[in-house]
Amino acid sequence: MIGKFSGKFDGAASSFRNGGNGADVEAVMDEGDRAASLAGGRLTIDLDAVVANLRHVEAATAPARVAAVVKADAYGLGAGPVAAALAGAGCRDFFVADLAEALDLRPHVGGQASIHVLHGLWPGTESLAEEAGVTPVLNSLAQVRAWAELARKRRRRLPAVLQLDSGMSRLGLSDDDVAALAAEPQGLEALDVNYVMSHLASADQAGEDVNAAQRASFERLAGLLPARPRTLANSAAALGDPLTHGDLVRAGLALYGVAPGPGPSAGLRPVVSLSARVIQVRTLPAGTGVGYGLTYTTRGTERIATVGVGYADGWPRALSNRGAAWFGGVRLPIVGQVSMDSMMVDVSALAPEALGAGDAVELIGPHQSVADVAALAGTIPYEILTRLGRRYARRYVGGASAQGMRA
């Protein structure tokens, strides 16, 4: 007996009530259904929305090309299915953080796609990168020299991106490094430099002087080197500052449906929905403590539901006594501390029979966006996405062409 929950999840957490009869459900369940019926939290990732967001960024930045940044497992959403959907939609440029991510990504995007490795290569891993056909972003003279040396050894030009530090002080060639390269142009002869690149420190603060300063510094440094296509913009710059577009924009967050920076979601489609199932509901008299440390005390008679998602699932503990879940458009405040595997929500605003064990409440969905959750938790949407838990039952919807790619 699977219980009250039917296992059919349509992505809009607030709209599904189980109507199922457990025995029937059990008979037709496949593996995915089974996981969905047993897990305390369910995560749905809409691959059609990812592709729609790619089109949105393309329209906003044409004629620049759009690369998909799929580092950190596509911001926690699953680099395999996400990148396959994007490749199926025509995306040919991908960025990951390191070579390990690049090797994992290759089977999902096909042999023709360019996989760029933002961190460049650890010393000694150049041959592995060459065999895998990846394109390192070269951040230091040492990385440039090691990659060029391998190119000479192999007697063929190797693809590369040159990153210039235009003012963020994180990665890339310094002024002195660029001057040194400019003084020995033969140092780059063995390489196909597809792009010169830099990254903005404050892209989400449009109109900041630092953005203009970084653009100027990027132009100045790039001007010292042989002319190559340019890439500077992340999602925020792509959607907020046309002066940064160059030849290729590198979009992450926007593809995953979150508006970069403040303001409305700018035509992006939400990609992620998350729901948590009710474990039990209790009615408590006034003055009753709730949860670890008894940090919440009921003010009157209250009905409190315990739901099966906690901080071990990446749901922020900072939402203790602060955040909310939603059901049928009704806000259900989180009361007490968020625990490892569960948390309590006040469901007094609902009719007593409206919500019971096995039902699901919305954590991320039509009533509460990733950005809302991040703002309440005092963090950024990137952190909410990249921490989405491994314990959730995951379901991918859409992305039909991606299925074809994988087959």
Ligand X SMILES: *Cc1c(COP(=O)(O)O)cnc(C)c1O
Q: Is 253 in the site for ligand X (CB under 6 A)?
A: yes
195 is catalytic: no
Window 13 to 52, contacts with ligand X (CB under 6 A): none
- Binding-site size for ligand X (CB under 6 A) equals 13
Which of 152-160, 185-193, 252-260, 324-332 is the region at the interface with ligand X (rule: CB under 6 A)? 252-260
CB–CB of 266/235 below 8 Å?
A: no
Smallest gap from residue 197 Cβ to ligand X (A): 7
Question: Among 53, 234, 306, 320, which residue interacts with ligand X (rule: CB under 6 A)?
Answer: 234
Q: Is 215 in the site for ligand X (CB under 6 A)?
A: no
Candidate ranges 28-36, 244-252, 286-294, 393-401; the one touching ligand X (CB under 6 A):
244-252
Active-site entry in 4, 71, 195, 396: 71
Does position 339 bind ligand X by CB under 6 A?
A: no
Q: Per rule CB under 6 A, is residue 199 in the interface with ligand X?
A: yes
44, 235, 306, 339: which one binds ligand X (CB under 6 A): 235
Question: Judged by CB, which is closer to ligand X: 94, or 147?
Answer: 94
Q: Is 260 in the site for ligand X (CB under 6 A)?
A: yes
**Residue 164 engages ligand X in binding (rule: CB under 6 A):** no
Stretch of residues binding ligand X (CB under 6 A), selected from 29-37, 41-49, 231-239, 341-349: 231-239
- 250 part of the interface to ligand X, by CB under 6 A: yes
Which range touches ligand X (CB under 6 A), out of 122-130, 248-256, 299-307, 393-401?
Answer: 248-256
Q: Which is closer to ligand X, CB of 203 or CB of 324?
A: 203
382 a catalytic residue = no
| Given the residues 8, 153, 292, 392, the one annotated as active site | 292
Tokens of 360: 């699901």
Based on CB atoms, which residue is closest to ligand X, 118 or 162? 118
Which 64-123 residues touch ligand X, going by CB under 6 A? 69, 71, 118
Binding residues (CB under 6 A) for ligand X: these are 69, 71, 118, 199, 234-236, 250-254, 260
| Catalytic residue positions, numbered | 71, 292
